[in-house]
Structure 1
Amino acid sequence: MAREKTYKVVFTFHSTTQAIRMEECCKRTGMAGRLIPVPRQISAGCGMAWAAEAEKRESIEKLIDKEGIEVEGVHELLL
């Protein structure tokens, strides 16, 4: 049975280091989401991206700003 697709916010990064840093910050603060391979619809500097429910976008962006994480792009996709 196929998993139902939902809208996700996907953050891409210039480097794997920033992607791993994002994962560490989100785990530490209890922020929802997970590392995924960059979806084919997106071009990115590294092969990892952070995906979370689209409604979490604002709170994740605040965390990114607070932690000084360098993001390449932010996308909303049906995944």
Structure 2
Amino acid sequence: MRPKKLQCVVTFQTTTEAMAFEKAAKAIGLRGRLIPLPTTIAAGCGLAWKEDPEYRVLLESLINEHNLIYDKIYKLEI
């Protein structure tokens, strides 16, 4: 089992929102990925974006620049 590490997790209400976020994030070179929603979080869809927490400001800029819809951004050890 891998050791847990602090991650930035973006949640979405719909799969469509998650897929749009993934497309925009990959276009700017982010290395995160879509993951199954961690059990400690409740959200509308079963997907979340996991990224290194040092990129949180970049994630927020991406959301604002592309008018992406998301639910919340969490910092979790996963």
Q: TM-score range by the shorter chain?
A: over 0.9
1:12 matches 2:15:
no
Report percent identity of matched pairs. 38
What amino acid does structure 1 have at the position aligned with 2:46? G
1:16-67 Cα shifts (integer Å, max 9, x gaps): 0010001111111101210001100000010001010111111111011111
The TM-score normalised by the length of structure 1 is 0.94
The TM-score normalised by the length of structure 2 is 0.95
Deviation at 1:13, TM superposition (A): 0.6
Write the mapping of 1:11-50 to structure 2, written as runs, cut at 5 A: 11-50=10-49
How many residue pairs get matched? 78
Taking the aligned partners of 1:45 and 1:25, their CA distance within structure 2 comes to 20
* Gaps in structure 1 of 5+ consecutive residues: none
Structure (1/2) with the larger strand percentage:
1
Structure 1 runs, 4 residues or longer, greater than 6 Å off: none
* Gaps in structure 2 of 5+ consecutive residues: none
Over the aligned positions, Cα root-mean-square deviation in angstroms equals 0.8
